Structure 1
């Protein structure tokens, strides 16, 4: 096992290599929320479901879409947002982007219309790696590490997010963005 410290930081994006071969992460972009020597916690940003927040939490109106944060514990709810002025106890990931916080304040802000899907994203489940697991996957080149801005994250359509991040990186990554899902059909 490689003992070199990982270059991953909280707030980084893990972009699935186009031919990774793991159906849980096919063309996924994972936001790293917590990375330490003991493991990594992240949320898949571009796997929207047909389920809404109101389907899993009572007394939330209007209904906001839910995303699959990853294959681990899909009976848990997580969220990111860009409204620390409305939500106490949040963890800053990058400039203007926060993870978690006081969920009672979140529900109140949603119901008042001050927190919308332009400012928050909700996830069932999460992506997790045990100690050394992500580093091993990085050595296998399963993931591309990048950064983003809060505006890009919330303003880019979900279906275009994987390609959009790669195009934004430029160079060889811009070419990867155009790889077909199934090269046999090319």
Structure 2
């Protein structure tokens, strides 16, 4: 195992530098659920070409970027937020970050400009693992786990740097990994 931190709801998964699966290349995933029966999470640093107003027609001017959450259920939309005080709904996954909530309330907040874009993040699809699958992948060094899931990291907008920054935050012994080239043949 690359590091000794165990997966848990609210923690981050960081893909190893040369992961072959293009869905997860240099990905940072927020785990929104982790138990003995499986895991669910969302890729935080793969934004798509769609804005929320392109997908939800009654959100007239919602300029929120929609991220690729993962290869499962790509016909579904999901969200996380850090605005329980405004939403009054959602499942807390840690550090003031909430998964889901009342979508109708969220639409009202967006249309009335009562919630900022950096308070909510939207995803098409999700990442999912069956019972024991994620733990096995971690043991095979496909993922590193970080317990640093500060809202400013989760809701930040610098997707290009997120993977590198999260690795550097693991500990000094991982800092060199952040500089590995995307293609190992370029090394």
User: Same-fold call, TM > 0.5?
Assistant: yes
| 1:63 aligned partner | 63
Matching residue of 1:142: 142
TM-score, structure 2 normalization: 0.92
Distance (Å, rounded) in 1 between the aligned partners of 2:168 and 2:138: 20
- Pairwise mapping of residues 24-43 of structure 1 onto structure 2 (< 5 A)? 24-43=23-42
Structure-2 separation of matches of 1:179 and 1:76: 34
The 10-residue stretch of structure 1 (165-174 or 16-25) with the greater mean CA deviation from structure 2: 165-174
> Which of structures 1 and 2 has the larger relative contact order (alpha carbons within 8 angstroms, sep 6+)?
2
Tell whether the 8 Å contact from 1:38 to 1:131 is kept in structure 2 after alignment: yes
Q: Which runs of 5+ in 1 are unaligned?
A: 1-5
> What secondary structure sits across from 1:85 in the alignment?
helix
| Residue aligning to 2:99 | 99
Q: Look up the SS of the partner of 1:34 in the other structure.
A: strand
Deviations 1:139-176 (Å, cap 9, x if unpaired)?
10100000221112223511111011112223122111
Please name the residue that 1:174 is paired with: 175
Cα contact 2:51–2:62 (8 A) shared by 1: no
RMSD: 1.3
Aligned residues: 181
Indicate whether 1:129 and 2:138 are aligned. no
